[in-house]
Amino acid sequence: MPPPSNFPLARGYQLLNYTIVKQLSAGGFSIVYLAHDDTDQPVAIKEYLPNALALRSEGERVMATSADNLALFRHGMKCFFEEGKTLAQIRHPNIVKVVNFFRANETVYMVMEYERGRTLQKEIQLTEGGVKENMILYVFAHLLNGLREVHLHKMLHLDIKPANIYIRRDGSPVLLDFGSAREALNQSALSKFTPMYTPGFASPEQYADREKLGPWSDIYSVGASIFACMSGLAPQAADQRAKEDKYQSVKKMWAGRYSASLLELVDWCLELDPLARPQSVRDVQKALVETASEPQPKPGKGLLAGLKGNLARLTRLGSSKGEQK
């Protein structure tokens, strides 16, 4: 029997200098609200509230559901708080900006800039016949720049999927809703609840062999997200592929619809063996540059120069910074 859902904070509730406007989303790990700060600017506030470990039935205080769950709840809260601290140090246009994080109501809150636009998932749903290649290249070239910055901070996202890729009104992407704290809690509480993975987008090592997690785990999810742009659906879930792999090479399925090098990249990213995938974001970016260099289909205006410029900058960065392995 699934655990009961938690009650959200009420509209108009005052949380420090933020006023709750409405609930934006809720899952098994957290609730996200739209709020206004004391200058009336909109912000998104994420509240740590795992249904399996804690409950708020009325009022605002969060209570662990049992003495046994209290230690797990506090461990997850610590991981969530640390995730907020790390994200607050990252200043990148394609990564959600954390502007504040604090403790209140016996739990933790993360305050983020509120973005206007729609998710890549919504874009996929509204597009017939697959997302155009020039848009895929544009979105993921920018997104990978941000993801590389995350990896340079010794952090993994672990929940990359179209629903967590937000397309702003100007067309630029921003990566939302990190799953690192959820992953830490999953590892500690496997007997308490089913780990919160998104079937099709989570890498095989998130289901088992968690000591093998690394940048290549996020890269699997990037490949799955591009696959979804092409097909409108997620690929077969990795745990099911491990039992009976029914994955069909996109190079065979969509030859002629997309550049051969882009299709090869998706197949490469979706290898079940972590060591058989690209080992760093930079490897994926190099492959995207090759795709943008192909004459058919043509890249969007200015895209090729932008991708090559990004790669040159990353090459210079790589000589002075280490990358998480």
Tens of pLDDT, residues 26-51: 877 889 999 999 999 999 999 999 88
Helix spans in 7-90 (H): 67-89
pLDDT at 311 over 60: no
23-37, 47-61, 234-248, 264-278: least confidently modelled range: 47-61
Q: What is the mean pLDDT of residues 291-313?
A: 53
* pLDDT digit string, tens, across residues 175-224: 988 876 666 555 555 445 555 678 899 999 988 877 889 999 999 999 99
Q: Percent of the chain at pLDDT above 70?
A: 83
Domain 14-113 adopts which CATH fold? Phosphorylase Kinase; domain 1 (3.30.200)
- How far apart are alpha carbons 239 and 241 in whole angstroms? 5
Q: Which residues, at least 6 apart from 98, have a Cβ–Cβ distance to it below 8 Å? A: 84, 87, 88, 90, 110, 111, 112
Q: Which pLDDT score, from 0 to 100, does residue 184 have?
A: 59
Residue ranges of the chain that CATH labels 3.30.200.20: 14-113
Is 70 exceeded by the pLDDT of residue 89?
yes
Average pLDDT across the chain, whole number? 85
The alpha carbons of the chain give a radius of gyration, in whole angstroms, of: 20
**What's the CATH class of domain 117-318?**
mainly alpha
**DSSP secondary-structure letter at 276?**
G
Burial, 130: exposed, middle or buried (Cβ in 10 Å; 0-12, 13-18, 19+)? Answer: middle
Q: At 102, is the pLDDT very low, low, confident or very high (cuts 50, 70, 90)?
A: very high
Which residues are CB-neighbours of 302 under 8 A, at least 6 positions away?
Answer: none
pLDDT of residue 315: 41
pLDDT for the residue numbered 304: 47
pLDDT at 186: 57
Q: What is the mean pLDDT of residues 135-156?
A: 94
In this prediction the pTM is: 0.84
Residue range(s) of every CATH 1.10.510.10 domain in the chain: 117-318
pLDDT of residue 29: 84
